[in-house]
Chains A and B, each alone.
Chain A
Amino acid sequence: MSVSATTSETEVMTEPVRKSSNKSVWLITPGVIWMLLFLVAPMLMMVYVSFWTQTTFKITPDLTTKSWVTFFTSETYLNSLWTTIRIWLIVLAATLIVGYPAALFVGLFVKNKTLQTALLVLCVIPFWTSFLIRVLAWRPMLGKEGAINLILMKLHIIQQPIEVLLFSELSVVIGMTQIYCVFMVGPIAFMMGRVDQSIIEAAQDLGAGFWRIFRTINLPLTMPGVVVGAIFVSVMVLGEFATAAALSGRKVNLLGNIIVTQVGSLKWAFAAVVGVVLTVLMGIVVAGLLRVVDLKKEL
């Protein structure tokens, strides 16, 4: 509708349209300049510096691939690349497994709109509180004398406290799953709510059971939601370092943690190499996810 309106405008009065398109240039320029200066330029700088020469406390702009060679021959760095990929895959799977049933219930079974909104708001509220505090809150939960061990011992399910709960890879996975599953629930519940009820009723009339309806109608129709959620979760988990710093007791070193350590010891060129590797990894992941479902067509 708006398209036809604009074309007819162009035909009738060319002068005001040119003026207004000039205006939209002025409106958009500050934002574009801001992003180019403070987002694109720093990222390009990172790529550039990754080829600089690193000495003990200094970097000099003599181009070399030494830092790159160091990264791909060092076991520490390669291990952390592998750890990052492993944690990302586990957390992605965990958020999906934990989040999907919740979204299914809210989107499919809660017919009352007010209750539906209330449940979604309950899911989103933790997102409004401090991220670092939420991470830290897992310490008294998971520790050797933590709430979970305490409850399990009181119930006589275990005799000894489970020590692996805190300061391990498991605690990082638990923490990240809780923090990021909201981003999975939201998009899936949104898509679930958009599924046309009459299709489901038609399937019921034809005698399809719940599982069959779920498999052939709900699951395929909510796939775009899963992909959007997966993109959110992936981007955030891959760029993480705080959860690992708080809950792993330095046992889990993600690429983000390596960057923080390297910057702390002024190894800027190494940090830049790790940064570029992380950027490329994220690019591949997001491009791969976008390939699974054509979002423009689905949404």
Chain B
Amino acid sequence: MQAGGIKLTLGVYIALFLTFLYAPLMVLAILSFQIGPEGGPQFPIIEWSTYWYQHLFGLTPPSRIAPLPIKEALFRSLALAIMTMIVSTVLGVSAAQAFRKRFRGQNFVFYLIVLGMMVPGVLVGLGMALVSNELGVARHWWGTAFVLHVVYTFPFAFLVMLAIFNRFDQSVEEAAWSLGVSPARTFRKVTFPLIFPGVLSAMLFAFTLSYDEFSRTLFASGRDLTLPLAIYGTFSVEVHPNVFAFGVLTTLFSFALLSVYAILMMLSMRRAKRIAIQEEA
């Protein structure tokens, strides 16, 4: 076969591949507009309606289908994601900052941190539940589940910051030090603005991973549900299109988050460019 033919075949293949990736989400989105409460989670669409979206917000008359417990769960998930984001970004930045100098046991520390993203949630979740049983500590989403979320997202923040510091020009910091600026002030005024895009990426990673995380939360969070746990609860029972409607909304939320990130990223890049131009002038 000629290279041209192969290129065409692979081009067709990638189209099929993308269909494979996206088709289920498309079908889910279409079916979320099924009429309710009698319309089921399958084709054909009896009638287009936004019934299940209203059902999600409790705007429909009560029916045999129980509403998803998303109101408090949403608050908990957002609070948990924000807490996780802040702590793991701080830990990630400071750990990566420490890695700029060689120190004893550096390899060990590196593997210890990376282990956090490799160990499956079901194992740390189980271990955490056992520890809290033994110590008599009650399990809560803001306690035992939160520390596990950080165990998971801190390595991502750390690796992102490590990559940023690898390309970092140290001479600007040294210039500040040699002018007698204190290290803390140097970090605030020189280092931080330079690594800001990395910090933003680390924050996005931590927030999204925590917001979506459930296997760590499952054993470690006690009675109160987070959003993913509420969804997981529907797995064992019959699925109604209200879950699909929720899926569409949460996907839109993820995209909105991604857009905010992209805008902030663009603004910080534009600022960097403007400063560079000023310096040249």
A pairs with B? yes
Binding site for B on A (CB under 8 A): 2, 6, 20-21, 23-25, 27-28, 30-32, 34-46, 49, 98, 101-102, 104-106, 109, 119, 122-123, 126, 128-134, 136-141, 143, 145-147, 150, 178, 181-182, 210-211, 235-236, 238-242, 245-246, 256, 259-260, 263, 268, 271-272, 275, 278-279, 282, 286
A39 & B151 in contact (Cβ 8 Å cutoff) = yes
For the complex, give the distance between the alpha carbons of A224 and B250 in Å: 35
Q: Is B203 an interface residue (CB 8 A)?
A: no
What's the least CB distance linking B49 to chain A, in Å?
17
What's the least CB distance linking B116 to chain A, in Å?
5
For the complex, give the distance between the alpha carbons of A212 and B126 in Å: 50
Using a CB-CB cutoff of 8 Å, which residues 105-144 of chain B contact chain A? 109, 112-113, 115-116, 118-124, 126-131, 133-134
29 A-B pairs whose Cβ atoms sit less than 8 Å apart in the complex: A6-B101, A23-B183, A24-B99, A27-B98, A31-B91, A31-B94, A38-B148, A40-B112, A43-B123, A45-B130, A46-B123, A46-B126, A119-B14, A128-B254, A130-B212, A131-B228, A132-B228, A133-B243, A136-B247, A139-B41, A139-B239, A140-B27, A239-B119, A239-B121, A241-B215, A242-B215, A256-B120, A260-B218, A275-B122
Set B42, B208, B236: member contacting A146, Cβ < 8 A: B42
B6 & A239 in contact (Cβ 8 Å cutoff) = no
Q: Using CB atoms, name the residue of chain A closest to B150.
A: A34
Say whether chain B's binding surface is mostly helix, strand, loop, or mixed. helix
A43 & B124 in contact (Cβ 8 Å cutoff) = yes
Say whether chain A's binding surface is mostly helix, strand, loop, or mixed. helix
For the complex, give the distance between the alpha carbons of A104 and B3 in Å: 13
Number of B interface residues at 8 Å Cβ cutoff, please give it: 84
A275 & B235 in contact (Cβ 8 Å cutoff) = no
A-B CB pair tally, cutoff 8 Å = 240
B151 & A34 in contact (Cβ 8 Å cutoff) = yes
B151 & A242 in contact (Cβ 8 Å cutoff) = no
**Given contact pairs A239-B120, A245-B235, A210 touches B6 in the complex (Cβ within 8 A):** yes
A150 & B43 in contact (Cβ 8 Å cutoff) = yes
For the complex, give the distance between the alpha carbons of A123 and B19 in Å: 11
B24 & A263 in contact (Cβ 8 Å cutoff) = no
A130 & B126 in contact (Cβ 8 Å cutoff) = no
A39-B124, A45-B134 known; 11 new pairs, CB 8 Å cut-off, are A24-B103, A35-B112, A35-B154, A39-B119, A46-B123, A133-B246, A133-B251, A137-B28, A210-B2, A245-B235, A286-B118
For the complex, give the distance between the alpha carbons of A49 and B239 in Å: 37
**Given contact pairs A239-B120, A275-B123, A263 touches B10 in the complex (Cβ within 8 A):** no
A122 & B18 in contact (Cβ 8 Å cutoff) = yes
Q: Is B181 an interface residue (CB 8 A)?
A: no
